[in-house]
């Protein structure tokens, strides 16, 4: 009996131990803490990595190294080669470094100083000179500028790839007549390719705007606590040339052409707004494109890619919902909201700076780039696999074409001597009769049959069937597409700097 009790207690103890282990595992699992959907579901590993804590804080360490190197090169003898070597050896943070910084920040309530101490712990020869003459914004602001620049460099080739996809699609379908819409009502015909060319042109504008912002982006540099370089004037004995040299060296080391002419404790938050406006423009274009595709999918004319085993609806198994376009649309809505937040942050910076910009920028800056990245991934996927149903497209054209040729009929009758007003009235009456038949009775459009049965139109009966060729009514659509989308055309020249990326990405897609 005693043995049984002892065995039972041992079993209970073992089970409790396993339960405790499971609890520990569950507590530390990523499934038990909020994770942003952007990094968990939508954006690329490279963009997620760029805005990771390791990337951010390793950039801080690089900036501290660059500052120390530059000060040493200008003549600060207390910064030794040994100190610089130790800093270079520990630029990328380890998990242990993050733990040291976590403990320090809990004690000091200052994230920059926590990381100064963590860096000094692994580079003791440099512990006394790390951050020499700098304010916190030396590392935080300059890092943001570097990350935004590198983020743009990740976005631009992906944007060019989407433009290239649409250019190829537009050329393939440059002559396929399709209904155009104004007020979402059928209007004069265009071609499937011309509509895609319009999408591509909007994206080209986004590419140009983001390129412009990228080229105009500057560095904050080492400007001191309120942007006067007072601390560096003291370090360099009031030698302004050395202060200028310091920023020249920092720009060279970080890959910027120059510093902003005027800074406060921060670089002006107007820069964030300028960047956000350019990138949010992509959100506007993406929502427009995705919205058009969603409508065309409803009309059953064009669909986004739909995989063999893909499920459109958990309940309605027949459905082919445009989930990719809907995702793009949703992400674009969030991206377009970002400039308002940046504008509010900029406008509310009191005097030379207040810290109420900090928490919100920690979210807004990464999310702006992660959203844009996710949108471009979606657009690339959709634009690279659009499916056109030409028979359906033509059927919808034929439903409306009889109405669209009425103006040509009037012109031909007038040329044969009939009254323009009388021709207009005859067409108006028959058109409304045919329209009522379509709407009230659900019958096909029989306007042509009505015209053939009305004696007034006898002079143009012989040529009426030839007038129903849709390609006669697409205007210069083909020429417009060729001029804009063909090899050597406007788009081809614009995306030329990204051709290597596009070719590599296309090859990778084909090999999957």
Q: Are residues 164 and 247 in the same domain?
A: yes
Q: Is the pLDDT of residue 251 over 90?
A: yes
Q: Are residues 300 and 238 in the same domain?
A: yes
pLDDT at 16: 61
Q: Are residues 293 and 215 in the same domain?
A: yes
Tell me how many degrees the CA angle 264-230-253 measures, rounded to the nearest 5.
Answer: 75
Run of H or E including 431: helix 420-441
277-309 pLDDT, tens digit each: 999 999 999 999 999 999 999 999 999 886 655
pLDDT at 18: 59
* Chain mean pLDDT for the chain: 89
Known catalytic residues are 183, 313
Q: Is the pLDDT of residue 25 over 90?
A: no
pLDDT at 512: 38
Q: Are residues 156 and 225 in the same domain?
A: yes
**What CATH number does the domain containing 100 carry?**
1.10.275.10
Q: Is residue 332 part of a domain?
A: yes
Q: Are residues 279 and 360 in the same domain?
A: yes
Q: Are residues 438 and 380 in the same domain?
A: no
155-194 pLDDT, tens digit each: 999 999 999 999 999 999 999 999 999 998 888 899 999 9
Number of compact structural domains in the chain:
3
Q: Is residue 146 part of a domain?
A: no
Query: What does each C-alpha distance from 66 to 111, 143, 242, 451 come to in angstroms?
Result: 20, 12, 15, 82
End-to-end CA distance of the chain: 66
66-122 pLDDT, tens digit each: 999 999 999 998 999 999 999 999 999 999 989 989 998 898 889 899 999 999 999
- Which token pair is 107? 């004690």
Query: What does each C-alpha distance from 379 to 161, 228, 508 come to in angstroms?
Result: 10, 45, 17
Q: Is residue 443 part of a domain?
A: yes
The SS3 of residue 256 is: coil
Domain of 197, in residue numbers: 152-172+193-309+317-389
Distance between CA 247 and CA 263 in Å, rounded? 13
pLDDT at 1: 52
Q: Is residue 177 part of a domain?
A: no
Q: Is 227 left (phi over 0), alpha (psi -120 to 50) or beta?
A: left
Contact (CB, 8 A) for 207 and 160:
yes
Q: Are residues 324 and 204 in the same domain?
A: yes
Distance between CA 140 and CA 496 in Å, rounded? 35
Q: Are residues 459 and 359 in the same domain?
A: no
Q: Is residue 395 part of a domain?
A: no
Distance between CA 264 and CA 253 in Å, rounded? 22
Span 391-417, average pLDDT: 90
316-368 pLDDT, tens digit each: 555 577 889 999 999 999 999 999 998 999 989 889 888 888 888 999 999 99
Q: Are residues 279 and 381 in the same domain?
A: yes
**What CATH number does the domain containing 462 carry?**
1.10.40
Q: Are residues 212 and 286 in the same domain?
A: yes
Q: Is the pLDDT of residue 413 over 50?
A: yes
pLDDT at 511: 47
Q: Are residues 64 and 108 in the same domain?
A: yes
Span 254-283, average pLDDT: 94
Q: Is residue 482 part of a domain?
A: no
Q: Are residues 84 and 201 in the same domain?
A: no
């Amino acid at each position: 009996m005693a043995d049984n009790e002892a065995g039972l207690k041992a079993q209970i103890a073992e089970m409790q131990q396993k339960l405790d282990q499971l609890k520990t595992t569950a507590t530390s699992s990523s499934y038990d803490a909020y994770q942003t959907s952007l990094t968990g579901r939508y954006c690329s590993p490279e963009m997620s990595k760029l805005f990771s804590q390791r990337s951010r804080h390793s950039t801080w360490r690089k900036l501290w190294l660059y500052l120390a190197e530059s000060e040493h090169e200008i003549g600060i003898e207390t910064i030794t080669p040994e100190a610089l070597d130790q800093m270079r050896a520990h630029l990328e943070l380890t998990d242990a470094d993050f733990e040291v910084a976590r403990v320090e920040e809990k004690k000091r309530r200052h994230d920059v100083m926590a990381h100064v101490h963590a860096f000094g712990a692994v580079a003791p020869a440099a512990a006394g000179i790390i951050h020499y003459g700098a304010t916190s914004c030396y590392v935080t602001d300059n890092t943001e500028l570097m990350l935004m620049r590198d983020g743009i460099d990740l976005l631009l080739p992906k944007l060019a790839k989407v433009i290239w996809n649409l250019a190829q699609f537009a050329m393939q379908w440059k002559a396929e007549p399709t209904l155009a819409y104004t007020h979402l009502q059928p209007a004069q015909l265009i071609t499937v390719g011309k509509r895609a060319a319009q999408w591509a042109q909007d994206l080209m504008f986004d590419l140009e705007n983001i390129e412009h912002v990228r080229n105009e982006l500057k560095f904050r540099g080492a400007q001191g606590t309120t942007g006067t370089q007072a601390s560096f004037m003291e370090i360099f004995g009031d030698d302004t040339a050395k202060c200028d040299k310091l920023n020249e060296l920092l720009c060279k080391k970080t890959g910027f052409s120059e510093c902003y002419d005027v800074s406060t404790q921060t670089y002006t938050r107007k820069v964030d707004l300028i960047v956000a406006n350019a990138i949010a423009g992509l959100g506007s274009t993406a929502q427009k494109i995705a919205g058009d595709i969603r409508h065309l999918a409803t009309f059953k004319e064009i669909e986004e890619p739909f995989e063999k085993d893909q499920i459109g609806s958990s309940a309605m198994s027949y459905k082919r919902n445009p989930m990719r376009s809907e995702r793009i649309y949703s992400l674009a809505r969030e991206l377009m909201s970002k400039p308002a937040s940046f504008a509010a942050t900029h406008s509310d910076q009191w005097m030379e700076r207040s810290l109420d910009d900090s928490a919100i920028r920690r979210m807004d800056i990464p999310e702006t780039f992660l959203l844009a990245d996710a949108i471009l991934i979606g657009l690339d996927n959709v634009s690279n696999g659009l499916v056109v149903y030409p028979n359906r497209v033509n059927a919808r054209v034929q439903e409306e074409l009889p109405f669209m040729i009425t103006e040509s009929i009037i012109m031909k009758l007038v040329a044969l001597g009939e009254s323009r007003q009388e021709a207009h009235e005859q067409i108006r009456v028959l058109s409304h009769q045919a329209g009522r038949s379509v709407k009230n009775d659900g019958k096909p459009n029989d306007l042509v049959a009505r015209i053939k049965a009305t004696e007034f139109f006898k002079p143009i009966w012989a040529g009426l069937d030839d007038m129903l060729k849709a390609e006669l009514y697409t205007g210069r659509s083909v020429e417009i597409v060729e001029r804009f989308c063909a090899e050597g055309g406007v788009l081809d020249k614009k995306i030329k700097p990204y051709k290597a990326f596009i070719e590599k990405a296309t090859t990778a897609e084909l090999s999957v």
